[in-house]
Amino acid sequence: MDFLNKRFYLLSSCLLCLLLSSPSYAWTNYFRFINNFNFPMTLTINPALGAVSNPCEKTLSNIDIAPHSSTCDLTFDTAKKKWNDNPANNGTLLIAKKEDPSSYCIYNYDYTYKLVPYSYFNLHSENISLASCHGNLTPSEISVINDKIEALSRPIVGNLLLNVDDEKAAKSTESFSNADCNGSNNCIIASPDGNTLYVPNGSTLLQSITLQNELDRYEPLNFAQFLGSHNSAASRRYTSSTADYNMSYSDPDSYLTLTDQLNSGVRQLELDVVWYNNAITLCHNHFSAKLEGVLCDDNAPITTALTEIKSWIEKNPRAVLILYLDVNLPLTGKVNELDHDLSELEPYIFTPKMAEPYGVSNNTLPALQLSQNTLTEKLKKNIIITNDNDIDNLKNSQYVFVNVEQSTETPLYEVSVNNFLQSTISCDSNKYDKIKTLYGADPNHYNILRMNGDRTTVNYVQTVGNKKPSEFIDYYTTLNFYDIRNCPINIFSENMLGYTCDSNACNAHPTDPRFYSFLWSWELGYPLQSSGSELAYINSKTGHFENNPLIPDNIYTVLCYKPDASQKAPTKPLSWYVQNIKITDVHTAAAMADTACKTSGGLFSVPTTAYWMNDVINTLPLNHTDNVLVNYQDVNHEWMPNVFAEKKEGKTVLIGQSLIK
C-alpha cells in the first residue's frame, strides 16, 4: 500500500474533478485471516461492492485455514457505484470453526480510497467492525489488525510525526500491520482467550503457561527459558503525561501493566530508568539529558514499578523474576539512591553478596550453578536484578549483577529479532551451532541469552532508512514465534504486549496472540484438572503434552535420555531415545516406564524447554502415532518434571530434578 506525499496531494487536489473519474485511483488492498487456534477454521467472504480474488483456492466460500497458519494474500479491488463516489470495496467476512460451523463471527469490512479531505487515517481507509458472534466463538478471541488500529494508541504517528514526514508516519504503522498480518495490509487473527476453558475439566491458556514456567525450574539458568518484555514500563500506565513528545504516552512499548504482564507469563521485566526530577524515574530516553524535561516529564518513579512487582511476588512465592535495568543515561553519584529504591524489593532479592559462596565476586551472577528451584526453595529468593549498561556505576550496587560467570558479556546478552530473521536461521536443524554464531561473543552459552523485539514508531524511523515497510521485521509475531521459540535462547523479550487494543485508551483487548504462540508444552485446555491421568504424555500428532486417562493393556512409547556429565550449557542436543512398554495397570505406568529406561542405560525423562521438546519430536520415527509417556507427573496436585524417589527422614518422597547432571 503506497501513500501520497504532500506534493502529490496538492497536485491531485487541483485536478480533483478530473481524477475522481480516473481509473488511476484504483486501490488494491491485501487481507489475510490468521488462525492461531489448534483446530481448523473457515473464512467466507461476501463482497457487496468491488471484486475479491483468492489466488490459492479460487473460491471465497469456506476457505480452509489449518491450525497455526494463514490464508494467502486475498486481493480486494476497489470499485464505484457512481462516477463521483470514492472507490471502495465492502461486504462481510464470516469466520467459523470448521468442525463446529454454528460457532462463527461476522465482520463488516469497508475499504475506501478517499481523495479529500487528506488525513493519515482516511486516505486509505480500512475499517473492519464486528457485526455479531454466535455459538462458541467470541470477540475476545478475535483481533483486528490494520493501520488505524496500530496507530490508535500511538499519537506520535497522527500528531507529531505526520507533520514532519507524512510518508514515513504512514509506513511505520504499515510495517507493523505487514508483520502482524504475515505480509498483508490488514488481517484478522483468531487466537485463544487467556481465561477460557477449551476442554471440560481442563485448564485455561494462562494456567497452562504458568505450569510451563515451572517446567524448567530445576535447570541451570543458562538452560532455562523465559518470556520477557522489552521496555516493560515504557507505557501510558506509568505516566500522567498526554504530551506528544512523551514516548510513554505517544509511542508506548507496552499496553499492559506490569501485573498483567506477569499474570500472562512474563518472567523478565525491563525497566528503563534515568535520574530526573530528583528521583530514579521510569523513562525511555537514549537521546540526551537535555531532553529529559520533554521525554520524562510526569513519568512515575521506579518505586511505583517496584511496589507493584513486590506485591505480585508476595502472591506468587514460587515464581522467579529477572529484573533488567536499562540505565538510559549514567547514574553517576546516584547509585546509593538506586539501591535505596531497590531495597523496596527486600527480602526477595538474590544479591551479589549472596552469590559469593558460589565462588564468584565483583557482582557476578553464577548462572551455571543456579536454578529457579534453588532460588525459591533453598535461598527463599525470587528476584535477580541485572543491567544493560552503566557498568562503571552499577558495579558498586549491592543489588545489581553486572557480570556472568565465565562470560565476557553483560547479563542477558542480547541480539535482535531482526538479526535472527535476517540470518535465515531455522530452529529446527543445526540450531545449536547457528545460535553459537548468532551470539558469537559467548559461543559456550554461559550467559543468559536474550532475543529482543522492537516495534515502536521511533524504532522504525531510526532504523528503516529507505527500506519498504515489509522489510522491517524487528519483532515477534503470532506466526514467527513458533520457530523462534525452538532455538536454545533463554529469554524471548517482546514489546507491544497487548497491542490488539479496543481504542486509543487501550483499556481492553483480546489476549495477545503471541502468548499462545509461546505455549510449546501443554495442548490447549490441558492438563485436565480432574478425571485425568497423573502421568503426562506427548500426543505425537500435536507435539504437546496431554493427560487423558491411560488405557490398560495398550502399547505406549516411553521417552528416555542418557545423561552427559560434561554438558554445562545448551550447545548440543541431549541423547534422547524411546522404548516401548505394555501397560497392564495405569497406576504403575510411571514405574514401568522408569524400569524400561534404566534397563536400556538411560533415565525416564521429559523435555523441560521448547528447544528440547523440538529435539524430542524430531527424534521420533516418521509417521509415529503412539502417545509418548514422559516423566512429568502430578505429585500431590503439583506437576513435577523428571521425578525420582528419594529417602527423607525414613520416608520415600518424590521430587523433581534437572536433566543436567
What would you report as the CA-atom Rg of the chain, rounded to the nearest whole angstrom?
26
Q: Which CATH number fits domain 220-501: 3.40.1130, 3.40.1700, 3.30.1180, 3.20.20?
A: 3.20.20
pLDDT at 124: 66
- The predicted model gives 279-289 an average pLDDT of 76
Q: Cell 481442563 appears where?
A: 202
Q: Which of 40-54, 142-156, 214-228, 429-443 has the lowest mean pLDDT?
A: 142-156
Distance, CA of 628 to CA of 385 (rounded, Å): 39
Give residue 285's pLDDT band: very low, low, confident or very high (50, 70, 90).
Answer: low
pLDDT at site 577: 97
Lowest mean pLDDT among 152-166, 332-346, 378-392, 614-628: 152-166
pLDDT band of residue 557 (cuts 50, 70, 90) is very high
- Dist CA 431 CA 572 (whole Å): 9
Q: How far apart are CA 270 and CA 433, in angstroms?
A: 28
Q: Could you give the CA distance from residue 186 to residue 173 in angstroms, rounded to a whole number? A: 11
C-alpha cell at 110: 469497508
The amino acid sitting at 411 is: P
| Percent over 90 (pLDDT), the chain | 66
For residue 483, what are the CA distances in angstroms to 54, 62, 105, 472? 27, 28, 29, 18
Cβ atoms of residues 564 and 232 within 8 Å: no
Residue 237, pLDDT > 60, answer: yes
Q: Which CATH class is domain 6-137?
A: mainly beta
pLDDT at 12 over 50: no
The C-alpha atoms of residue 580 and residue 558 are separated, in whole angstroms, by 6
Entry pTM? 0.92
pLDDT for residue 336 is more than 60: yes
How many other CB atoms are found less than 10 A from the CB of residue 65?
A: 21
Could you list the beta-strand ranges (E) of 333-402. Answer: 364-365, 383-387, 400-401
Q: So what's the pLDDT on residue 221? A: 99
Query: Which amino acid is it at 526?
Result: Y
pLDDT above 60: residue 11: no
Using DSSP's 3-state secondary structure scheme, residue 171 falls into: helix
**More confident position, 163 or 548:** 548
Q: What is the pLDDT of residue 21?
A: 34
Res 568: pLDDT: 94
Q: What are the pLDDT digits (tens) for 581-602? A: 999 999 999 999 999 999 999 9
**Percent over 70 (pLDDT), the chain:** 85
Residue 27 pLDDT? 64
Indicate whether 162 pLDDT > 80: no
Q: Which of 102-106, 184-188, 533-537 is predicted with the least confidence, judged by mean pLDDT?
A: 184-188
Contact 170, 120 (CB under 8 A): yes
| Contact between residue 44 and residue 62 where contact means Cβ atoms under 8 Å apart | yes
Could you report the per-residue pLDDT of 601-637, keeping only the tens digit for each?
Answer: 999 999 999 999 999 999 998 788 889 999 999 999 9
Q: How confident is the model at residue 10 (pLDDT cuts 50, 70, 90)?
A: very low
Read off the pLDDT band of 163 (50, 70, 90).
low
Question: In 223-319, which residue ranges form alpha helices assigned H by DSSP?
Answer: 247-250, 258-263, 292-295, 302-315
CA atoms of 154 and 173, how far apart (whole Å): 9
Which pLDDT value is given to residue 13? 36
* CA distance linking residue 519 with residue 511, whole number of Å: 13
pLDDT at 599: 97
pLDDT, average across residues 85-95:
88
Give the CB-side neighbour count of residue 104, counting CA atoms within 13 A. Answer: 17
Q: Is the pLDDT score of 443 beyond 90?
A: yes
pLDDT tens for 178-223 read 778 888 888 999 999 999 999 999 999 999 999 999 999 999 999 9
pLDDT per position as a tens digit, 105-142:
999 999 887 655 445 445 567 889 999 999 999 999 99
- What does the mean pLDDT of the chain come to? 87
The mean-pLDDT minimum among 136-145, 257-266, 291-300, 325-334 falls in 291-300
Categorize the per-residue pLDDT at 466 as very low, low, confident or very high, splitting at 50, 70 and 90: low
Name the residue ranges covered by the structural domains of the chain. Answer: 6-137, 220-501, 535-655
Q: Pairing between strand 400-401 and 364-365?
A: unpaired
Give the pLDDT of residue 563: 95
Range picked from 102-116, 542-556, 638-652 for highest mean pLDDT: 542-556
**What pLDDT shows up at residue 510?**
84
Residue 289: band (very low, low, confident or very high) from pLDDT cuts 50, 70, 90: low
